[in-house]
């Protein structure tokens, strides 16, 4: 049996909880057709379902988790399913993208694409998070 070729990239999301809720709302509302795609130039592409759904976190409400799914593509079009998890704990938010490269030859290319795609998603959420004042 071949070893699984996992891709996992994580980054902190510098948004306050209220701004993060606004950002997720604006991301979903601003997305036509339910999916958002970032073409990452020579690095590949990331497409996600724009609606994050809440999943059970730790007992006591210390941690909140939201998940969405998508597709991650290498520069030559090789694509795999991906999961993006948003975890908030004690006011700190973190995005993590996970995928199974299914092939050792694509692991590095997909990791680079995942890093670039997660950066694009984080920038977009930060942008939408600035819209918090529009809802007050």
Q: What average pLDDT values come out for the chain (136 residues) when binned by 10 residues?
A: 76 91 91 92 96 77 88 96 94 94 93 97 93 63
Residue whose C-alpha is closest to residue 114's, from 76, 79, 66? 79
36 with 47: CB under 8 angstroms? yes
Structural domains of the chain sorted by starting position, each given as residue range(s) with its CATH number in brackets: 6-129 (3.30.530)
User: What is the rounded CA–CA span in Å between residue 61 and residue 50?
Assistant: 24
Beta strands (DSSP E) in 1-136 are: 6-13, 35-39, 45-49, 53-55, 63-73, 79-89, 92-100
**What pLDDT sits at residue 113?**
97
């Amino acid at each position: 049996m071949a070893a699984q070729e996992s891709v996992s990239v994580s980054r902190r999301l510098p948004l306050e909880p209220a701004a993060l809720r606004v950002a997720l709302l604006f991301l979903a509302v601003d997305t036509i057709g339910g999916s958002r795609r970032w073409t990452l130039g020579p690095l590949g592409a990331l497409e996600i379902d724009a609606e994050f759904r809440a999943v059970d976190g730790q007992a006591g409400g210390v941690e909140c988790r939201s998940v969405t799914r998508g597709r991650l593509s290498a520069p030559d079009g090789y694509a795999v399913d991906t999961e993006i998890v948003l975890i908030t704990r004690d006011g700190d938010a973190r995005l993590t993208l996970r995928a199974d490269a299914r092939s050792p030859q694509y692991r590095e290319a997909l990791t680079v694409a995942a890093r670039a795609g997660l950066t694009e998603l984080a920038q977009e959420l930060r942008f939408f998070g600035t819209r918090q004042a529009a809802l007050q």
